[in-house]
Amino acid sequence: MSNSRDFLKGLIIGGLIGAAAGILFAPKSGKETRDDISRKTQDLLSRAKEEYEVAMEKSKKAYEAAMEKMKEVQRLARTKASEAGEKVEELAEKGMETLDDTKGRFKKAIDAGIEAFKEEKEKI
């Protein structure tokens, strides 16, 4: 966008300098000179308008491309977040199963310890 503005500034300034030089060095009458100035001004404005429209079209395309990329990133982020959520649920479920299994083994070990203690107590 900055390049377009710089180009437009250069185009306008260059056009004005060229028109002024043409007026100063032209061996024409006042009416012819005014007509030339008017024609060159219209020419310059027309070119500036065309360049502006081209720059606006490029900006619009760049904006649309950026928005499409952002939407794609958003879709990807949602997909990844969903996958991560499913993994967390899966790991939590496995953790609960492991905890239940460990709790069951621990209870069996305690029961076995108590049984062994009672057997040893009866032997005494």
Q: Residues 45-52: what's their mean pLDDT?
A: 87
Considering just the CA atoms, what is the radius of gyration of the chain in Å? 42
Instruction: Label residue 71 by pLDDT band (50, 70, 90).
Output: very high
Q: What is the pLDDT of residue 124?
A: 67
Note the pLDDT of residue 79: 93
Task: Quote the crossing angle between the two packed helices 30-123 and 2-25, to the nearest 10°.
Answer: 170
pLDDT, mean of residues 13-25: 76
**The pair of three-digit structure tokens given for residue 62, joined into one six-digit string:** 């760049």
Higher pLDDT, 34 or 1: 34
Structural domain including 45 reads 2-123
* Residues near 59 by beta carbon (within 8 Å), at least 6 away in sequence: 1, 4
Specify the number of domains making up the chain. 1
Tell me what pLDDT residue 60 has: 93
Q: Is the pLDDT assigned to residue 33 strictly greater than 80?
A: no
Q: Which residue has the higher pLDDT, 29 or 102?
A: 102
Is the model's pLDDT at 66 over the cut of 90?
yes
pTM over 0.75: no
